[in-house]
Amino acid sequence: MRHLRAVCAIAESGSISKAATALKMSQPALATQLRRIERMFGGPLFERGREGARPTQLGTWVLIRARSLLPAFDELRRDGMRYAEQTAEKLKIRLGCMSSHLAINVIKCLNELLAGADITVRTEEAMDLLPGLLESERLELATLGDYPGHELSPPPGVIYAGVAVEPIFVGLAVSHPLAQREEIELRDLAAEDWTLHALAEAGHREHFWAACARQGFAPKIAYSADLSLAIDLISSARCVGMFQATSKGYPGIVIRPLAGTPLRFRHMIGWTEHGPVARHGPDLVQAVTKTYWAEVRRAPVYASWLKRHLPLSPPV
């Protein structure tokens, strides 16, 4: 069905590049997919030229049938999902979580909102995997995040909703000369060694490098480590690293805001459009958002930062 949707999109837009934009894909990825589709059908479906992509005779034949099949399939799928919800003893929800403090809030709110649901949780150190798992319906729900200038777009059949945008703070050893400052200028860390998570997504890396470039330096990434090793490295004063503002802290480490908030992160939730979470999505987002702001009070550095910079923010 995805193949047929791609063929219809190309025909309707008259261009592979325009169709790729509509399908939220890159042009090379759609062109590669089209070649696979044409091999499957045994011949070219489009003639490519300066005027765009025009259906061949075979392409026209495929389009006629695709435009009949797709609405029927969508109706079948919707009816099937409704039937499954009515007949299943329990709703089954597979939740994928990235490494963030939002995950436990989502689990808690999900249990309250859908009491009795069969919820299984899998964690992924690399957030980049989660959108694909949602698109392929191997997950019904996921916690996600993105960065300014590197916003995520949901794949077909998936809905994203924002929960909160929070600043990214820096962690230093308690013995660090800057540890006593209320806020730290990013440029004052130009000479420091940094640790970055080994599986940090591209958006995170690029957002960090761009922020450092605006401050006039290129960061030295001396360590590529998971959280456990990073904590040991930072507490022993070997490097500094980035932390979520909601972090409650670690022994031997102080977490401080960055002056001017050069780094930000947006918490999001994603769910499948026709899955069991879909009709509860807005209520879940509202509940998770409320819980998120209530949890802020347990992160004293972030709560203090909010009072200084966002006095009209949701109550904490």
Q: Is the pLDDT of residue 270 over 90?
A: yes
Last residue of a domain, one of 55, 85, 115: 85
pLDDT mean over 252-264: 96
Question: pLDDT tens digit string along 68-84?
Answer: 888 888 888 877 776 66
Task: Report the 10 Å Cβ neighbour count for 12.
Answer: 13
Please give the Cα distance from 146 to 31 (Å, whole number).
27
Cα separation, 237 vs 175, whole angstroms: 7
Rounded Cα gap, residues 266 and 212, in angstroms: 19
Beta bridge partners of 97: 123
The CATH number of whichever domain residue 206 belongs to comes to 3.40.190.290
pLDDT at 298: 82
Q: Are 65 and 131 contained in the same domain?
A: no
Return d(Cα 132, Cα 274) in angstroms, integer. Answer: 16
Three-state SS letters, 163-194:
EEEEEEEEEEECCCCCCCCCCECHHHHCCCEE
Secondary structure (3-state) at 297:
helix
139 and 184 share one domain:
yes
Q: Which of 19-23, 147-151, 171-175, 228-232 has the lowest mean pLDDT?
A: 19-23
What pLDDT score was predicted for residue 109?
Answer: 93
Contact assessment for residue 121 and residue 107, using Cβ atoms and an 8 Å cutoff: yes
Q: 303 and 289, same structural domain?
A: yes
Q: How many domains does the chain have?
A: 2
> Of the candidates 52, 85, 118, which is a domain's last residue?
85
**pTM for this model (two decimals):** 0.69
Tens-digit pLDDT profile for residues 25-68: 888 888 888 999 999 999 999 998 888 899 999 999 999 999 88
Q: Which pLDDT belongs to residue 316?
A: 40
Q: Verify that 220 and 181 share a domain, yes or no.
A: yes
Residues 198 and 250 in one domain: yes
**Based on the domain organization, do 121 and 29 belong to the same domain?**
no
Nearest partner of 166 among 299, 264, 310, judged by Cα: 264
Query: The domain containing residue 153 runs over which residues?
Result: 91-315
Can you read off the two tokens belonging to residue 233?
A: 């490295």
Per-residue pLDDT reduced to its tens digit, 290-303: 999 988 888 899 99
Per-residue pLDDT at 89? 56
